[in-house]
């Protein structure tokens, strides 16, 4: 599953630089997560780094993108192999 940032986001800017996949970006009102790039940090870290650093706990599982750990790992492999080309 990809993550999403709720409207409780305070735009503190701490999550964006922590994302190893560059999936987090400034949206119209709050930060947003590009689901096609979010692996919940699988392949990079044991925990989702954006969730770890978020001071208001506004990052949650996005129910619109149901992926299991293997799906997320395969996405990580695909994304990192694209980066190396």
The tens digit of pLDDT for each residue in 21-77 reads 999 999 999 999 999 999 999 999 999 999 999 999 999 999 998 899 999 999 999
Query: Is the model's pLDDT at 83 over the cut of 60?
Result: no
The answer as to CATH 3.30.70.20 being correct for domain 3-79 is yes
- What is the model's pLDDT at position 1? 76
Whole-prediction pTM = 0.89
Query: Is the model's pLDDT at 85 over the cut of 70?
Result: no
Query: Is the model's pLDDT at 84 over the cut of 70?
Result: no
The CA-based angle 34-46-15, given to 5 degrees, is: 40
Q: What are the residue ranges spanned by the domains of the chain?
A: 3-79
């Amino acid at each position: 599953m990809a993550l999403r940032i709720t409207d409780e986001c305070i735009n503190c800017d701490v999550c964006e630089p922590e994302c190893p996949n560059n999936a987090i970006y400034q949206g119209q009102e709050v930060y947003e997560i590009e689901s096609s790039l979010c692996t919940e940090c699988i392949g990079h870290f044991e925990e989702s780094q954006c969730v770890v650093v978020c001071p208001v706990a506004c990052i949650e599982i996005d129910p619109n993108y149901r992926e299991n750990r293997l799906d997320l790992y395969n996405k990580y492999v695909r994304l990192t192999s694209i980066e190396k080309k």
